[in-house]
Amino acid sequence: MLHTRHVTGRTDCSPSAPVAATIDFTALKARQQATWASGDFAVVGATLQVVSETLCEAVDLRAGSDVLDVACGHGNSALAAARRFCRARGVDFVPSLLERARARALAEHFEIDFTPGDAEALPFEDATFDCVLSTFGVMFAPRQELAATELLRVTKPGGRIALANWTPQGLIGDVFRVLSRFVPPPVGVPSPFVWGDEDELARLFADAGSVRTQRANFVFRYRSPEHWVDVFRTWYGPTRRAFEALDEPRRAELERALVEVLARANRATDGSLAAPGEYLEVVIEKR
């Protein structure tokens, strides 16, 4: 179902706790950076490329546009924009992922500038881009209002922001709830799944012209639920760090809990995994 909101003011509708004023964000973001740098997100991210292609179509991306991919990882959305003859750039705070993105761009003969930077303090002038994209990236910024403000700031008037954000009700929301039972998240930091809720997005982007959302699914296709767990515990930072924080008995418990979640979502009947993961496709128009 497609939802469009014309936002006229902020609403106090957030169910999540406010960010605690006493949080050391320098230390928190250093831990986040280390988490995403562990393993190799590119292994998982490569499977998600179709979402970036779909997102470019959802925002009706036009050739010749100046496009920024925020929290770009190894470049999925920047590459999708470049394939549509846009002038694409990417920004991320994990240097090793930027190196992977540069290698991919070189292999496809695209000139894309991949810049180190933070989604909460984008290293670009105001009103630089016709379109700003983020695919399962900016949603993990801890200071959500600041990140939303930065997305709007670097977007030109009349430009668009397009996001793909996991929903709290979907498979990845379930996975993170399991992880939080074993390794609690930082106290006082809102859930990243706020970005997958229509009402919360209306609050975050109250200064935009309109917020259009539509729920969609990415199907995780792996050899089995156990194979998914093996890939994610090896290569996906948050899952890898959760396993590393536990002793062996608790690791076995976590593995069983994740397999159970995946098995419930699995629509395959041949032993493989085909599990839909719901996400929110978002197109925001800036006044």
Q: List all residues 6 or more positions away from 121 whose beta carbon is below 8 Å from its beta carbon.
A: 150
Q: What is the mean pLDDT of residues 11-28?
A: 61
pTM of the predicted protein model: 0.91
Q: What is the mean pLDDT of residues 85-98?
A: 97
Per-domain residue ranges for the chain? Answer: 25-221+277-285
Q: Which of 7, 28, 17, 8 is nearest to 120 (CA)?
A: 28
CA distance 44 to 238: 12
CA distance 245 to 251: 9
The least confident of 99-103, 182-186, 266-270 is: 182-186
Residue type, 17: A
User: pLDDT grade, residue 17 (50/70/90)?
Assistant: very low
Query: In Å, how far are 75, 90, 125, 156, 221 from 128, measured between CA atoms?
Result: 19, 13, 6, 6, 37
Residue 7's pLDDT is what? 40
Residue 23's pLDDT is what? 87
Q: Which of 123, 119, 128, 223 is nearest to 165 (CA)?
A: 119
Q: What class has domain 25-221+277-285?
A: alpha beta
Per-residue pLDDT of 27-84, as tens digits, reads 999 999 999 999 899 999 999 999 999 999 999 999 999 999 999 999 999 999 999 9
Per-residue pLDDT of 214-262, as tens digits, reads 999 999 999 999 999 999 999 999 999 999 999 999 999 999 999 999 9
Residue 4's pLDDT is what? 55
Per-residue pLDDT of 144-203, as tens digits, reads 999 999 999 999 999 999 999 999 999 999 999 999 999 999 888 999 999 999 999 999
CA dihedral 131, 135, 136, 138 (to 10 degrees): -20
The CA R_g of the chain, rounded to the nearest whole Å, is: 18
Mean pLDDT of the chain: 93
Per-residue pLDDT of 109-148, as tens digits, reads 999 999 999 999 999 999 999 999 999 999 999 999 999 9
Are the beta carbons of 17 and 186 closer than 8 angstroms?
no
